Amino acid sequence: MEEKKKKASIRYSSLLTLAKDILVYAVAYVLAYVLGRNGAKFEWKSQYIEGIIAVSVTIVWLTVFRSYRVVWRYAGISEMLNVIGAFCATFVTLIIIDTSMSEGLPMSITIMILYIYFSLSASMLLRFYKPLTAALVRTFGNKKIVPPENIIVYGAGYTGAALIKRFIGNPDEGYNPVAILDDDASKRGSVVSGIRVVGGRDNIRETMNKYKATTIAIAITKINREEMRKIYEECRRHNATVKAVAGITGAEDALSSEAVSLKNVNIEDLLRRREHKIDRALLDNFIKDKIVMVTGGAGSIGSELCRQALQYGAKKLIIFDHHENGMFEINEEFKKSYSGDKYSLIVGTVKDREKLRSVMDEVKPQIVFHAAAYKHVPMMEINGDEAVKNNIFGTQNVIDQCAESGVEKFILISTDKAVNPANIMGASKRMAELLVENKASVSNGTVYAAVRFGNVLGSSGSVIPTFIKQINSGGPVTVTHREMKRYFMTIPEAVRLVMQAGALAKGGEVFVLDMGEPVYIYDLASDLIKLSGLEPNRDIKIEITGLRSGEKLFEELRFSDEDVDVTTHEGIFVCRLEPVNKQKLRNTLTKLKQAADDGNKLKAEKVIFEMVPDIYRNL
């Protein structure tokens, strides 16, 4: 929908420019004739035809030179040369027409020259008045006004050119491009909109010193994270403030869209690995034209599951969550892009089996993603009975109702904290995995599976929002241990892999996502501080506070005795699990139900760790 609006806007702008040109060129012809006819008798018919020919030829050549496919707000030297080329071609064409006609055109060479002069001048004024005004202001403006900040653009391609043109045409944005850096040695010495390519990565320091610039804008949109990180770290090594271009994916967009804008480099851009590719055919077969239900649909993972379910063609989306404010926000987001019959919002809790029954019997979902869970480790340490009610028995309710309602596939969103859990939250998620495995072993209808992954950047349970708040308040940033490390993914990448794992599920699997190498939390905190333009332990202190109850230095993605097989999809593995001790599981669930109903947190903790390995619990 946004793409359609953008194309419509570009078409409207082109038609408006065309209409202005026709009017201006007609006036230019009349003015040229009045000044250049030297007392010749005015003949309406012949002059009318001559004017139509002159204006038509001009419009044709401007079209050939692609003058009506440019957003002139960001135009530069190349676009100016195209306009001049179009008028040169117009002049030659008019002469050819004049000499090839038996009686010739009434237009004298003087009138032709005057017409080209007036119409070209008008074209330049119409198309380049903003850049020209900006240049005049920069050159002759009030010197008492604070000058814009000098900025170096990293990247001499289409996106870099578009960004420079934006800065030049919009001085009120506060940036003055002074130099370009590019790692392609063949571009050294070339000029983009009057700004020279002066070097590459090795010239950052001398370029900053020479041009008195402290900010570098990375204007390379087709770049992987590994390369982005190298450029970022080299810029930061010289204490540069780093920004990046947002919203551009190709050359045409870069030169014809008003979406060229700057953002601070996101922490997601700096992950020490590349994102996994998606298998679009796999997702289409799994999601397209299906009725999809997401429990916990207003949460960080749940809301992204909802976005991607609609993106990949779900017939209908059912968003189920008890978080009223989150449901309001996701509705505000979705109603801008989707009609009301495409999705439904149902406020409810997975602890309410009757609510689940009424909803599933009515909407008849074919796929259920179960993302509803309490996930904050410290909060569940002091509210273990609620973790049991929601994460275990809430999951049991959804599992049982899926079987009763004939759901095709149930996918549990699990966590690395379920492996050798050191806390109640992780133990409750491990119990949820066991429920899935147990149900899958007796199911002859619904396919049950779980997907296990680590931390996601920016989710409500992630350290990132906490770190950002601490940085914004002046610090300190608190890290519990210098050697603590975690696996990280972006939310969209994790959800794409969850969906693809769901498509691969045959029943009873626990899928594990390849999350690359774990990242030290201390390093993550340092990166966030640097992204804010500050220096760790100079501007913002990083404080080590000590491990909290239920925390481990390192989270695992599988148990040591679990065998892991590859799947047909890069980045997704499947664990081969030991059979569930059904009798022990039933006894544990009975005891847990009694403890949770009684609000006995200590009893709930004791019972759950009788079923789940507790080798890390009391370390």
- Could you tell me if residue 134 is inside a domain? yes
Element (H, E) at 226: helix 225-237
How many domains is the chain partitioned into structurally?
3
- 402's CB contacts (< 8 A; 6+ apart) are 360, 368, 410, 446, 448
Tokens of 390: 């929601």
At 514-559, the pLDDT tens digits run 666 677 888 888 877 876 667 788 888 898 988 766 565 655 544 4
At 591-614, the pLDDT tens digits run 999 998 888 888 988 888 888 876
The reply to whether 247 and 303 lie within a common domain is: no
Using the structure block, give the residue that is written with the tokens 């004791």. Answer: 606
Whole-prediction pTM: 0.59
Q: What is the mean pLDDT of residues 104-115?
A: 74
At 110-123, the pLDDT tens digits run 888 888 888 888 88
The reply to whether 320 and 214 lie within a common domain is: no
**Separation in Å, CA 289 to CA 109, 449, 481:** 67, 21, 47
Residue 41 has pLDDT above 90, yes or no: no
pLDDT category, 73, cuts 50, 70, 90?
low
CATH of the domain at 297: 3.40.50.720
417 is catalytic: yes
The number of angstroms, rounded, from the C-alpha of 387 to the middle of its chain's C-alpha atoms is: 33
Distance CA 180, CA 160 (A): 8
Q: Give the pLDDT of residue 519.
A: 75
Q: What is the mean pLDDT of residues 315-337?
A: 93
Residue 396 has pLDDT above 70, yes or no: yes
Q: Give the pLDDT of residue 473.
A: 81
The reply to whether 293 and 383 lie within a common domain is: yes
Which ranges in 335-387 belong to alpha helices (H)?
353-363, 377-381, 384-387
The reply to whether 115 and 206 lie within a common domain is: no
- Name the least confident of 106-120, 265-279, 573-587: 265-279
pLDDT category, 561, cuts 50, 70, 90?
very low
The DSSP 8-state label assigned to residue 392 in this structure reads I
Q: Give the pLDDT of residue 166.
A: 77
The reply to whether 130 and 230 lie within a common domain is: no
- 138's CB contacts (< 8 A; 6+ apart) are 171, 176
The reply to whether 178 and 324 lie within a common domain is: no
Q: What is the mean pLDDT of residues 443-448?
A: 89
In percent, the amount of the chain with pLDDT more than 90 equals: 25
- 8's CB contacts (< 8 A; 6+ apart) are none
The reply to whether 118 and 196 lie within a common domain is: no
Choosing from 140, 172, 191, the residue where a domain stops is 140
pLDDT category, 428, cuts 50, 70, 90?
very high
- Could you tell me if residue 72 is inside a domain? yes
- Name the least confident of 116-120, 260-264, 587-591: 260-264
The reply to whether 259 and 286 lie within a common domain is: no
Residue 564 has pLDDT above 60, yes or no: no
- Is 40 within 8 Å of 50 (Cβ atoms)? no
Q: Give the pLDDT of residue 429.
A: 92
The reply to whether 304 and 409 lie within a common domain is: yes
The DSSP 8-state label assigned to residue 388 in this structure reads I
- Could you tell me if residue 484 is inside a domain? no
Given the residues 165, 375, 389, 417, select the one marked as catalytic.
417
- Could you tell me if residue 426 is inside a domain? yes
- Could you tell me if residue 220 is inside a domain? yes
At 270-319, the pLDDT tens digits run 565 566 666 778 888 899 999 999 999 999 899 999 999 998 999 999 99
Choosing from 123, 140, 157, the residue where a domain stops is 140
- Could you tell me if residue 472 is inside a domain? no
Q: Give the pLDDT of residue 583.
A: 92
The reply to whether 28 and 105 lie within a common domain is: yes
pLDDT category, 45, cuts 50, 70, 90?
low
Tokens of 143: 């010197």
Q: Give the pLDDT of residue 1.
A: 47
Q: Is the model more confident about 157 or about 344?
A: 344
Distance CA 244, CA 229 (A): 12
In percent, the amount of the chain with pLDDT more than 70 equals: 76
- Could you tell me if residue 591 is inside a domain? yes
Residue 481 has pLDDT above 50, yes or no: yes
Q: Is the model more confident about 182 or about 1?
A: 182
Asked whether the bond before 476 is cis by omega within 30 degrees of 0, the reply is yes
The DSSP 8-state label assigned to residue 157 in this structure reads S
| Residue range(s) defining the domain that contains residue 397 | 280-455+489-514+563-611
The reply to whether 295 and 242 lie within a common domain is: no
* Closest among 121, 110, 112, 119 to 94, alpha carbons compared: 112
- Could you tell me if residue 334 is inside a domain? yes
Choosing from 212, 237, 265, the residue where a domain stops is 265
Q: Is the model more confident about 452 or about 403?
A: 403
At 180-210, the pLDDT tens digits run 999 888 888 888 877 889 999 999 999 999 9
pLDDT category, 223, cuts 50, 70, 90?
confident
Distance CA 91, CA 56 (A): 12
The reply to whether 300 and 408 lie within a common domain is: yes
Q: Give the pLDDT of residue 558.
A: 46
Average pLDDT of the residues of the chain: 79
